Structure 1
């Protein structure tokens, strides 16, 4: 069964907006809600407010208990892998069977953020292997009694772990060949951001080949601008690059998302540019979900 989710309005200084978004998603019949992982927004200026992802996710998990929750994505360089794993295990205990930990590396746009907070940034040839190592550490921590691993990025010696009765699903996010193959080998899922259905299908095939028959979620996430009609959505787009967005009324958005389902996607995660707008949740959970025949 294909699932449909949404990212929450995290760029705010009002926690009620985030919780209201999660409630609207649940009430609209959506399957999942996600948060980004930034310490400041990449656009809009450093003064623009944003909530930290894992504390926000914990707040949502404690208040709303009937929708899947997750990160899309948690950045592998922002926290030590063992600390990230412990955080994931804690939220999994609060929200058993509902947590999705999608892990990504970020890109060069994230470098100033890391440096401002005094956190080492992994770029170039270190980016993918550091992220893969982090995902491996998290997966081991939530599924085994102890973790021992040693590589260029993680050094753990018989660390007592926190295996969850219902461990979180760990998705690897990215498009490099090493990440795609690692997602297939060790992940519960892979996330491809934006792009075309053709590219998604090509990369999903690499993931599936590496999975060698293992059941794995092939997930897509992207930016969506939606309104009642195509014309109204185009007005909301303004001067932004249309190639970066899915733009249209519910029919047009459903057709665009449907092409990713045809390409193999089993979980779609929509990021609205106006994430706090209540009508988005209704259109996505009612109109788009119906048009995609998702139940």
Structure 2
């Protein structure tokens, strides 16, 4: 008999158009709420929404700071662009964060920005980074997953001569705290990326959108796993769901639909400005079986709708 899915909830705070202290406040608050098990940033170098010249923080640097200021949350970048950092350098960065967090890193990675996104190329051109075609990006991602895992686990220097990555005398020290290595989350929805997921990932994330489409992508991943002899159930299904402060019923419905479609790793996207007690509100309103906490008065225009009160049972 199939066991029912037990959803595990996290939050995402995009490090853009927001102050560092506000993100830190939300993460510290979430760190004290057991129902919120994980927290995430994203990986862009220039804003992809709002003021194009607005504030945006580098994801891994910020994650390291947040790791040092939290104690319980699992944490990660959703997802690291494999186009931005050389994989061996990224393995070193990630191992450092896992050490700082005492083994709480979930390592998220993907091919990088979608070519169809109107701002996809801007941040690469502005930082002198190449923006290769999709075939190159997917092939490089597969090699990066192999290289990063080897740097985390092998005890002797090694050579790697792939199509896209060339390493001589590669070696990683310190190793991550987690053994054999931090969980590997790969994000994306394209067929080519899903083949990489089937081969390498512990967790697959799809960045929200239509639940029916997400379920179809999940079924395709099942097929790719079967083709290489891997149990599809060994890959946790993850999805990002935007949080509506004004209409939490919409978010509750999306949570129910995603869970019914087989997604058990649910990431609730919080948009700035963050109201006071936003993590407590999220847990109380959107995560089952948690009573409502008291709220401090909202700041300026930042406010929540009144908590929905159910009539008492007869």
Q: TM-score scaled to structure 2, two decimals?
A: 0.79
| Structure 2 CA distance for partners of 1:205 and 1:278, relative to 1, 3 Å | farther
CA distance in 2, matches of 1:135, 1:48: 32
- Give the ranges of 4+ consecutive aligned residues of structure 1 lying more than 4 Å apart after TM superposition: none
Partner of 1:263: 261
Moved more, 160-169 or 143-152: 143-152
CA distance in 2, matches of 1:26, 1:53: 19
Structure 1, unaligned stretches of length 5 or more? Answer: 228-247
Structure with higher Rg: it is 2
The counterpart of 1:112, out of the listed 112, 118, 122, is: 122
The counterpart of 1:138, out of the listed 138, 148, 152, is: 148
| Structure 2 CA distance for partners of 1:157 and 1:60, relative to 1, 3 Å | same
The counterpart of 1:284, out of the listed 272, 282, 306, is: 282
CA distance in 2, matches of 1:290, 1:204: 25
CA distance in 2, matches of 1:148, 1:264: 40
CA RMSD across the alignment: 2.3
Moved more, 146-155 or 56-65: 146-155
Q: Which has the higher strand share?
A: 1
Q: Which has the higher helix share?
A: 1
Structure 2, unaligned stretches of length 5 or more? Answer: 1-5, 291-314
Helix, strand or coil: the match of 1:161? coil
Partner of 1:232: none
CA contact (8 A) 1:122 1:130 kept: no
Could you give the per-residue CA deviations for residues 115-163 of structure 1, whole angstroms, max 9, x where no partner exists? 1111111233323222332233223322333453322321123411243
The counterpart of 1:273, out of the listed 268, 271, 274, is: 271
The counterpart of 2:171, out of the listed 160, 184, 188, is: 160
Partner of 2:42: 36
| Structure 2 CA distance for partners of 1:258 and 1:81, relative to 1, 3 Å | same
Partner of 2:221: 207
CA contact (8 A) 1:135 1:172 kept: no
Paired residues in the alignment total 272
| Structure 2 CA distance for partners of 1:30 and 1:19, relative to 1, 3 Å | same
CA distance in 1, matches of 2:252, 2:158: 43
| Structure 2 CA distance for partners of 1:275 and 1:285, relative to 1, 3 Å | farther
Q: How far apart are residue 101 of structure 1 and its match?
A: 1.6
Partner of 1:21: 26
